[in-house]
Structure 1
């Protein structure tokens, strides 16, 4: 399947930023800004083509091991450096995670060493000569955005950033990267980092060329995304992959072509990505949600739609993923779609999501039997919410 992989990874970075913004209040679009700063610096060093694409991908995902990051690493002040062993855990897990992604070039150790200091005082004791150039570029971009992004990109913060770089050159950051940053970001360019237009500039520098992925690669990508949801709530990753696997199985059972099967798998894995924008106090509440809490929870499907909307030629998969709480009678959410507006795959996803949620075990409940889950699906179909034909297919496909 042809996919805008970099667009998908950008969507993933937005999801990560949502979690960071909720829990630790980092500045908006942190990952994309780190990617843009990194790309601009790399151009000064003569890096181009597929290497530049891969640098952007690594920069977007530099903090993908978010659980450890939140617990052990994040500090608003760049001078307040956490214990090296703790940062090392975050880097090690992040390095392992990205190995499942389809890069063009060798990005080994880029995430692993992106917190190394120039003088060898980082978590793994590597000096700047021992660290990949991509790691050093991301390191300086990340430091600067964390220190000054939330304060705003002004002439004052520009002067402070330059002062920080000169003061810490040779210890925290290396001269080659300091020079590249200062060449890439004179004051007028630095000021644009606080404007919305920087994202457009990023994609002009890094064209999002679609890649042909095998189903095995799509599954690895889907697993990576599901893990991001897991950072928010431990049981949801299992749910997302469960929905993906059920979507693949039902699609094959109903006789759809291979590309549709693969798209349904990906839509299933991504359908709850919007939950990253919902607070854990609601996501993990074991009891019944209040009316206000449920109103907040309902927004997650709209967030899924929003997060996936910036991916090129992804509208079909986006809709299959985001419309999983719509009902045929128009009483669903977030858009109140009616039967005339819901296609077969969207109707399938609604049934699959409910079936998987009913049959899977969670920390606060035991999963239902196939028979009991189907009883509930049939009841919902009789109320005019679900497609009876698809409920029958679900009953037959997942029996035994």
Structure 2
């Protein structure tokens, strides 16, 4: 299947930025700014073609394990930490990030780029590596990431440029290596640097890195999908592994119903991405143990619309986007976020709605025990009688997953070792 892989990674970077903005208060579009600055700097050092594409991906994903790190290290309470201070055990974030990108469809060798992207030129970083021991891409990303964090600005002004120059001058040879600092200054005049703050940053990045669709095998698609699901589910451990379980269920059911291989692959990817919009919702809502207020539930309902928005930036992805985004719509029009009704919802969208409910019912969560397959199917049939979901698909779901154990919560797939 051919996919706009760069577009997918850009969508992922937006999701990561949302979480970083919530937890450590970086400004939005942080990952895209780091990617654009990295690409421009690398061009000055002769990097081009597929190597430049891979650098852009690494820069977009350089903080892919930050959600995981914050969750495991601080349990989502980072009040002891500061954006201007390195987190304790920062190496854990780098190690996990390096591990997470294994198997992603890179064109070239990007080993140790994420692992060493916080190393300082003088060897004072988390792994004690000097700049001569660190891959060029890691050094470039370290410079651009540090610079964007120090500037900490949504709109770039002359004062931002002055702050950037002070940072480069004061850290050369100590934090940032001389080679990368010189390349950055060749790439950026003041006017070029200030343009990073405009709304067309994405266009500027894609002008340098064309988004050519890649033909991926299903095993590659699964690795890609699992990567996204991992990030989504780490936002809130209360739904840990939910996305990847929905992906597996959606693929199994669509195959059971006789659909072709490409549709099955698309359903797996849509299932993995269906809750990506939850990264925009605050954890005070996602993890509230009691009943949500009307205002909180209204905010929660927006997550499906955010999924639609985030996935809309991917080229030729409308079909998968819709399958992922419409999982809370109902046939009688009472669903959300778009209020679609039966005539608007195709079979794949109806399947995703049913599978999402089914999986939420059978899986264990900290606040409830998963129920049996039989009990879950009773609830689905009741929802079908109310006109909310498709009764034929409920029948297919009951038959397809009849091999699941009758004991609660047996469909628990583990993506990570939390």
Q: TM-score, normalised by structure 1?
A: 0.96
What is the CA-CA distance between 1:214 and the residue it aligns to? 1.1
Matched, 1:264 2:271: no
- Where 1:261 maps in the other structure, the secondary structure is helix
What is the CA-CA distance between 1:231 and the residue it aligns to? 2.3
Change (3 A) 1:288 1:82: closer
Matched, 1:95 2:98: yes
Change (3 A) 1:262 1:358: same
| Alpha-carbon separation, structure 2, partners of 1:28 and 1:287 | 31
Q: Which of 225, 232, 238 is the aligned partner of 2:241?
A: 238
Matches within 5 A, 1:315-354: 315-354=318-357
Runs of 4+ in 1 over 6 A off after TM superposition: none
Matched, 1:366 2:373: no
| Alpha-carbon separation, structure 2, partners of 1:316 and 1:387 | 20
Q: CA-atom RMSD, angstroms?
A: 1.4
Deviation string 1:10-46 (CA, Å, 9 cap, x unpaired) is 1111111111111222111000110000000011111
Moved more, 24-33 or 234-243: 234-243
Query: Does the 8 Å CA contact 1:3/1:212 hold for their aligned counterparts?
Result: yes
Query: Does the 8 Å CA contact 2:24/2:83 hold for their aligned counterparts?
Result: no
- Residue of structure 2 in register with 1:76 after alignment: 83
- Residue of structure 1 in register with 2:391 after alignment: 388
Q: Which of 124, 128, 131 is the aligned partner of 1:128?
A: 131
Q: Which of 212, 215, 230 is the aligned partner of 1:212?
A: 215
Query: Does the 8 Å CA contact 2:156/2:195 hold for their aligned counterparts?
Result: yes
What is the CA-CA distance between 1:81 and the residue it aligns to? 4.3
What is the CA-CA distance between 1:150 and the residue it aligns to? 2.3
- Where 2:237 maps in the other structure, the secondary structure is coil
| Alpha-carbon separation, structure 1, partners of 2:115 and 2:23 | 24
- Residue of structure 1 in register with 2:150 after alignment: 147
Query: Does the 8 Å CA contact 1:248/1:261 hold for their aligned counterparts?
Result: yes
What is the CA-CA distance between 1:230 and the residue it aligns to? 2.2
Matches within 5 A, 1:247-262: 247-262=250-265
- Residue of structure 1 in register with 2:59 after alignment: 59
Matched, 1:291 2:294: yes
Query: Does the 8 Å CA contact 1:360/1:367 hold for their aligned counterparts?
Result: yes
Q: Which runs of 5+ in 1 are unaligned?
A: none
| Alpha-carbon separation, structure 2, partners of 1:391 and 1:327 | 14
Q: TM-score, normalised by structure 2?
A: 0.92
| Alpha-carbon separation, structure 1, partners of 2:13 and 2:356 | 25
What is the CA-CA distance between 1:161 and the residue it aligns to? 1.1
| Alpha-carbon separation, structure 2, partners of 1:252 and 1:291 | 39
Change (3 A) 1:75 1:136: farther
Q: How many residues align?
A: 396
- Residue of structure 2 in register with 1:107 after alignment: 110
What is the CA-CA distance between 1:96 and the residue it aligns to? 0.7
Q: Which of 202, 207, 224 is the aligned partner of 2:205?
A: 202
Query: Does the 8 Å CA contact 1:250/1:394 hold for their aligned counterparts?
Result: yes
Q: Which runs of 5+ in 2 are unaligned?
A: 404-418
- Residue of structure 2 in register with 1:379 after alignment: 382
Query: Does the 8 Å CA contact 1:38/1:55 hold for their aligned counterparts?
Result: yes
Query: Does the 8 Å CA contact 2:233/2:243 hold for their aligned counterparts?
Result: no
